[in-house]
Each structure stands twice: as C-alpha cells, then as structure tokens.
Amino acid sequence: MKDGAQKKRSPKGAISDPPAAPNGGHLKQERSIETRERLIHAAIRLLREKGHSNFSTMAVAEYADVSRGALQYHFKSRDEIFVAVRRKIAESLDLDISISYMLALPLSERVARIIQHYWNTIGSVDYVAAIEIRLYERFNATVHASLMAEMTRFSEQRNRDWVRIFADADLPSDELVDLRRFMLDTLRGIALRQIEEGRTAKVERQIAMLSTTLIALLQASIKNQS
C-alpha cells in the first residue's frame, strides 16, 4: 500500500495495522508505533475500569479501536500486554531532569521534587493498572519472573541515581537505598488509601509528612559531618 493511501479497516471499522514491508517508509513505522501505544493505553484503561479478571485481548482491541490482527502483530498474548503495561508505568517514574541539575538544588527541594514526581504516577488513576497486574502475576510464575527481572533492572538504576543525587548525605549507599524504599512504600500505601476512599481522600498532609521526614533524616546526616 502506498504512503498516503486510505487505511484498511476491519468490518467493524477498526484500523488494521499489518506488518510493514521490509522497505516500508517512515509513515508505516510511525503508524505501527502509534498503534502499539494506543493498545498499551487501552490496556491500562481496561485494567483500571474492569480489573484483570475481566481483561481480554479482544476488549483491548475494541478499546483501542484497532483490528484483532493489529493487536496480535504487536502482542501475542495477554501476558505480553501486561508486561508492556508494567514497563510503561515503570518508565513514567524515570526522572525527567538531569542528576547534575538536581545536585545544584537545596536538599529540601531535591526531596520535594522527587516525591512529587513519583506521586504523579503512583497517585494517578492509571497506577491501578499496575496493582491489577501485580494481583494477577501472584498466580502466574512466568509473568512474575519476567516482571521481576524488568522491575529489578529499573530499581537498580534508580537506586544508583538516588545515591548520586544525595551524595552529600553522610550515609552508606544501602541506607540511602532504604530511604528510597521507605519513600516508595509510603507513597504506595497512600495510593491504596486513596483508591479505597476515592478521589476525595485527603492525602496532601501525609505526603508533606513524608517529605519532612526524609529531609530531616538526610539533613541530620549532613550536620553530623560538620
């Protein structure tokens, strides 16, 4: 099919996204990437609204408005979609500013920025999808092993970044990493309460307390150096 030609559609009107030819142009490649992203976002929405027990690849295709064939080209199974969703959510936790820039900030601002950045994902409605997948993988050893390998890789890199960002704190690396885990565990707990109580839950005070606690612990170690 030539670039610019009308997109093929399935009988239901969904966009069909067949594999691009070996010498296909950038438009086909971009369309393929766009379709994959639509499928991942549709899966997140489906998990958020229906849960993992009511999840199906057919429903994902319908939510994304693509053909079943297009979905199968990108994802061979439901488990592959779950791994892609967890990866997508995990990637959203990556800091979007450089470590060198962070090091130039006062310690209190570094802590506040990181907590807010993490909360933007963990406190979002889309994070429910990650929780649903976690519940599913408890009883699926293959998916669990695959996700553990992925999440471990993400965590190890972020732990290294965290240690560099707070290099001025006179704490061993393992204690600094424990502080990061404490932050994550606290934010996840707040997120669960928000899910239970709804969007009306007042969480700002708990997040502020977390920030104050981390700042105090880190500043105490710096003061002990002098």
Here the CATH number for the domain that contains residue 48 is 1.10.10.60
145 and 71 in a common domain: no
Torsion angle of C-alpha atoms 38, 41, 42, 44, degrees rounded to 10: 160
Cα dist. 157→85, 176, 177 in Å?
A: 19, 14, 11
φ, ψ (nearest 5 deg) of residue 80: -65, -35
pLDDT for residue 31:
87
Q: Indicate whether this model's pTM tops 0.95.
A: no
Same domain flag for 120 and 146:
yes
**Within a domain: residue 81?**
no
**Residue 97 and residue 161 share a domain:** yes
- Claim to verify: residue 112 and residue 186 sit in the same structural domain: yes
122 and 165 belong to one structural domain: yes
Same domain, 134 and 217: yes
Residue 32 within any structural domain of the chain: yes
Containing structural domain, residue 21: 1-76
Query: What per-residue confidence (pLDDT) applies to 4?
Result: 45
What's the pLDDT at 143? 93
Q: What is the 3-state secondary structure of 79-121?
A: HHHHHHHHHHHHHCCCCCCCHHHHHCCCHHHHHHHHHHHHHHH
Q: Which pLDDT belongs to residue 12? A: 44
Q: What angle do CA 187, 189, 194 make, to 5 degrees?
A: 95
Do 72 and 125 have their domain in common? no
- What is the pLDDT, as a whole number, of residue 9? 43
Spatial contact of 173 and 163, defined as CB atoms under 8 Å apart: yes
pLDDT mean values, one per 10 residues, the chain (226 residues) = 44 46 67 94 97 96 95 95 95 89 95 96 95 94 92 94 94 96 96 86 92 95 64
User: Is residue 70 located within the same domain as residue 92?
Assistant: no
Does 83 fall in a domain? no
How many helices (H) and strands (E) in the chain?
10, 0
> Does one domain contain both 61 and 113?
no
Are residue 122 and residue 69 in the same domain, yes or no? no
Which residues does residue 15 pair with via DSSP β-bridges, in sequence order? 9, 66
Element (H, E) at 130: helix 127-137
Say yes or no: 99 and 62 in one domain. no
Crossing angle of helices 173-197 and 204-223, rounded to 10°: 170
For the chain, the C-alpha Rg in angstroms (whole number) is 21
Domain presence at residue 186: yes
Instruction: Please report the pLDDT score of residue 76 as a whole number.
Output: 94
User: Does a structural domain hold residue 82?
Assistant: no
| Residue 5 backbone class (left: φ over 0; alpha: ψ -120 to 50; beta: rest) | beta
In tens, the pLDDT along 193-205 reads 999 888 677 899 9
Total domains, the chain: 2
- Residue 155: CATH number of its domain: 1.10.357
pLDDT at 106: 96
Q: What share of the chain is helix, strand, coil (3-state, %, to 5)?
A: 70, 0, 30
